[in-house]
Amino acid sequence: EMKPVDTLEFKMFVKRFNDTYQNSLLKEQKDLLSNYIVSFSDNGLGLKVYLNEEIGRLKKAVDAEIVEKPNSAFTENFKKVR
């Protein structure tokens, strides 16, 4: 059973988190965390939609990398991921 968190505790946590990670996380990482945190309010539906879209974006990025750098040492590994 989850204990309720009061507003002050939550605000302090968010402030500490933002102070620590505001310059070190990529936009995609911040979006993932935001969707995960909010997912408790909609039984994870928003997170599932976000992850489905993100997987599509990542597949396109991998395909583009394979096309742009066909002689790259990573090409075989990219093909395995695809």
Domain ranges of the chain: 53-82
What's the pLDDT score for residue 82? 64
Cα–Cα distance, 46 to 52 (Å, whole number): 10
Tokens 């909010």 appear where? 38
State the pLDDT confidence band at 66, using cuts at 50, 70 and 90.
confident
What's the pLDDT score for residue 51? 97
Q: What are 13's two structure tokens?
A: 């946590």
Q: Identify whether the C-beta of residue 36 lies closer than 8 Å to the C-beta of residue 42.
A: no
Map residue 5 onto helix, strand or coil. coil
- On average, the pLDDT of the chain sits at 85
State the pLDDT confidence band at 71, using cuts at 50, 70 and 90.
low
CA angle 1, 13, 8 (to 5 degrees): 80
State the pLDDT confidence band at 72, using cuts at 50, 70 and 90.
low
